[in-house]
């Protein structure tokens, strides 16, 4: 309960015990009038063990990227499709979702109802929290276990995933290059191992934002993703952590890379 409301990327992340006055104070400290932030952009998060409260530099790096990217996509979509209610559905992938904060942030920016965020997470407790956060905010996000490839998980991650094996795994319809955007806030080691897996979920041209990466490991992550993403580079740095971005190219992820 010592956590204060977090203001980042014109979003307010608040917990159940935060009062409106606490939110107003946090906004004032951030140089923003609380009245200027729409209710839709105030995310109510459940207290719990799931990572992703907005306080860590990597979460802030990702949140800023998610909001900027989604606003750009939304603007382009409105220009191309106008107010047509039959707008093509957009899918956002939050890989390593934790509390679901990145997917939920994407949902708050999307102006169309024809949008959904999907979280992938190996921790069943975190999935419960992410689902609760989505329900509390009435936002279209669902979270699932990944389809387990034991060779891509270290012993600790595999143990967590096996304990969660009773949870629903990612439906087959999402186990394909169907996503329009992806953000992943995981540590550099797992990110490098997951490069072909994450790439296999994205449509050509889909933007990617990665963090959880210490600055001295940034080049390793860029090297792992460069075969599958154009303009893959370190875009930002904050307090020794970096954000890596790129755009999915046409290179095929072969089955041997996913084995």
The predicted pLDDT at position 17 comes to 85
Q: Which residue has the higher pLDDT, 56 or 130?
A: 130
Residues 105 and 15: their CA atoms lie apart, in Å, by 15
pLDDT tens-digit map of 191-206: 999 999 999 999 999 9
Q: Which residue has the higher pLDDT, 188 or 75?
A: 188
Residue 130 has pLDDT above 50, yes or no: yes
Closest of 234, 167, 152 to residue 197, by C-alpha:
152
pLDDT band, residue 4 (cuts 50/70/90): confident
Helix, strand or coil, per DSSP, at residue 68: helix
Residue 108 has pLDDT above 90, yes or no: yes
Mean pLDDT comparison of 18-22, 45-49, 155-159, 213-217, highest-scoring range:
213-217
Taking residues 232-250, report their average pLDDT. 97
């Amino acid at each position: 309960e010592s956590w204060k409301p977090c203001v980042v990327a014109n979003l307010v992340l608040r917990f159940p015990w935060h009062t409106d006055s606490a939110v107003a104070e946090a906004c004032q400290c951030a140089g923003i009038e609380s009245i200027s932030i729409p209710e839709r952009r105030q995310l109510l998060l459940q207290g719990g063990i799931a990572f992703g409260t907005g306080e860590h530099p990597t979460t802030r790096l990702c949140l800023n990227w998610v909001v900027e990217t989604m606003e750009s996509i939304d603007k382009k979509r409105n220009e191309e499709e106008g107010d047509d209610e039959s707008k093509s559905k957009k899918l956002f992938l939050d890989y390593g979702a934790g509390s679901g904060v990145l997917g939920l942030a994407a949902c708050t920016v999307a102006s169309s109802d024809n949008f959904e965020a999907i979280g992938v997470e190996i921790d069943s407790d975190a999935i419960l929290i992410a689902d609760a956060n989505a329900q509390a905010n009435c936002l279209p996000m669902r979270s699932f276990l990944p389809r387990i490839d034991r060779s891509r998980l270290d012993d600790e991650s595999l143990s967590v995933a096996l304990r969660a094996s009773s949870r629903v795994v990612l439906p087959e319809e999402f186990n394909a290059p169907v996503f329009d955007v992806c953000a992943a806030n995981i540590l550099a080691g797992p990110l490098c191992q997951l490069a072909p897996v994450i790439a296999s979920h994205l449509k050509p041209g889909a933007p990617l934002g990665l963090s959880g990466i210490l600055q001295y490991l940034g080049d390793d992550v860029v090297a792992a993703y460069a075969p599958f993403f154009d303009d893959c580079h370190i875009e930002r740095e904050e307090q020794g952590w970096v954000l890596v971005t790129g755009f999915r190219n046409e290179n095929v992820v072969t089955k041997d890379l996913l084995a």
